[in-house]
Amino acid sequence: MKFRHTLLAALAAFAFSASAIAVAAPPFNPCQQCRDAYQRCMNNGGLDGTRDCETPFSQCLLSAGCPLE
């Protein structure tokens, strides 16, 4: 019976720590996500192999309200 309470307490502590880590995650940065997507696009040969990553990058920046680079 005591083992069951210890296990339950350990699971509760794990769940609490996991939720605390999720809440403490860095803030969402849409501009950085656009830059990351651009880098992935360039590394993978672009859209359909055309290496046209500038157009989607510009559209992403505009839609996220970021300054154009």
Q: What is the pLDDT of residue 45?
A: 80
Q: What is the pLDDT of residue 59?
A: 94
Residue 58 · residue 34 · CB < 8 Å:
no
Query: From the first residue on, what is the mean pLDDT of each consecutive set of 10 residues in the chain (69 residues)?
Result: 60 54 66 93 78 89 89
Q: Which amino acid is at 45?
A: G
pTM for the model = 0.55
User: 51, 31, 26, 28: which is closest to 40 by C-alpha?
Assistant: 51
Rounded to whole angstroms, the Cα distance separating 25 from 21 reads 6
